[in-house]
Structures are given as structure tokens and as C-alpha cells.
Amino acid sequence: MEHELGTLYEAQKIELQIIEKETKRQTAPKKLQEMDEELKQLKERLEKEKTIFEELEKERKKKEKELDVDKDKIKKIESKLYEVKTNKEYQALLKEIEAAKATNDKTEEDILTLMEKIEELKKDYESSQVKLQKRGKDIEVEKARLDTEVQSMDKIIGELKVQRDNLLSVVSNELRSKYDMLKVRRGGIAVTNVKNGVCLGCFMNIPPQLFIEVTKNKRLIQCPSCNRILYFTDSE
């Protein structure tokens, strides 16, 4: 029994390594998803920035057209100046021209303001584009690295499982099924060491007489509190 318990304890140590690796391995898909999400958000922001400056660009073109139309209008009024017969009509046309010019000045001012704004937004858009490209490349590298890491973890996990199963193959079926059951019920730890009369699985005291028994590793003893299989070793 001593040999069996020792083997079970070794298998348990490997089991813990498997759990640790598997826990780490499980974070990989989430990391990949987070990176994809980040890229998606960056792309969306870039699209939004583009839409805004394109809208302003449309607005600017519209105003340019307005300006052209209004300039033609002024020219037409100006040509009428030579045809009028009375001073009153002449004065009225001058007033009309003045008003139209004032409107044009305002439109020109608006166009300038729009151009400045567009210039600014274009710069933002271009810098976002550069950022996206850089982050995209970084993420590609990070994904490749993660992929390699996952492959290597899978390989190690596979090897550890073989080691564990080899150890467990010499343990009796009865003990093995107890081990498997406890492993499931006790968070992966079925066999645990004891130290100074304390179970290292649940950290509860073990009755002194029982502890003495445990240190002999002669028979199967389970912790009265957590039910885990107790194995004594002072080499750790």
C-alpha cells in the first residue's frame, strides 16, 4: 500500500501541473477574441472619422456651388446697370449687388472654416489609420506567438497526461476510482500531504493518533474533514 500511495501522490503532483497548464491554455481563445474585438473597434472608429470628414467635404462643395451661382447672379445684376433708365432703379440695383456680395463674403468665410475643420479631421483620420496598421501588425505577431504557445502547451499537457496515466496504471482499480472521484469533487486535489498534524488539502487538524498513522503511509487514510487521501512526506 505504501508504494501505491506514493505513486498516487506522484500522479497527483503531475495532475496539478496539468490543471495549471490547462487553466492557462483556456485563456488563449479569450485573448484571441479580445484582440479581434480591439481591431474591430479601431476599424469602426476609423470609419466614423472618415464619414465625418466626408460629410463636411460634401458641405464644402455645396457651398462652393452656391458661391458660383451667387457670383453669376451679381454679374447679371451688374450688366443690368447699363440698361437702367432712372437713378432710382440704378440705386436699387447697387443695393442688390451689395447685399449679394455680403452673402458671398459670408459663404466664403464658411468655406474657409470648413476647409480648416476638414484638414484637421483628415489629419486625425490619417493618424488613426497609421495606428490601426501598427496595432494590426502587433496583433498578428501576438496571435502567432499565442498559437505557438498553445501548441507547445498542448504538447506538454499531452505528455503530462501520459506520465500520470502510466503512474496510475499500477494503482489498484479501487484506489484509482476513489482518486478519480475525489479529484472531481475536490477541485482536482485527491491526494494531499500532511504537515504538523494539519491536512494540506483543507488545513484542518487531524486527530493526533490518526496523524501518527498517516505518517506511516501503511494504509489508506482519508482526511476526516475533506475526505482527501492523505499521504505523508517530509521531503517537501
Q: Give the shortest CB-226-to-Zn ion separation in angstroms.
A: 3
User: Closest approach of Cβ 195 to Zn ion, in Å?
Assistant: 12
Cβ of residue 217: shortest distance to Zn ion, in angstroms? 16
Least distance from Zn ion to the Cβ atom of residue 17, Å: 21
| DSSP per residue, 75-99 | HHHHHHTTT--SHHHHHHHHHHHHH
Render 95-137 in DSSP notation, one character per residue: HHHHHHHHHHHHHHHHHHHHHHHHHHHHHHHHHHHHHHHHHHH
Contact segment (CB under 5 A) with Zn ion among 42-50, 100-108, 147-155, 217-225 equals 217-225
By the rule CB under 5 A, 221 interacts with Zn ion: no
Q: Which is nearer to Zn ion, 46 or 200 (CB)?
A: 200
Give the CA count within 13 Å in the CB-facing half-sphere of 137. 5
Judged by CB, which is closer to Zn ion: 86, or 209?
209
List residues bridging with 199 in a β-sheet: 194
Judged by beta carbon, residue 42 or residue 190, the one nearer Zn ion is 190
Helix, strand, or coil (residue 25): helix
Q: Which of 56, 223, 229, 231 binds Zn ion (CB under 5 A)?
A: 223
Report how many helices (DSSP H) and strands (DSSP E) the chain contains, helices first.
4, 3
If the CB atoms of residues 121 and 190 are measured against Zn ion, the closer one turns out to be 190
Q: Looking at residues 157 to 216 of the shown chain, list those that interact with Zn ion (rule: CB under 5 A).
A: 199, 201-202
18/199 with CB nearer Zn ion: 199
How many C-beta neighbours within 10 Å does residue 81 have? 12
- Rule CB under 5 A: which residues touch Zn ion? 199, 201-202, 223, 225-226
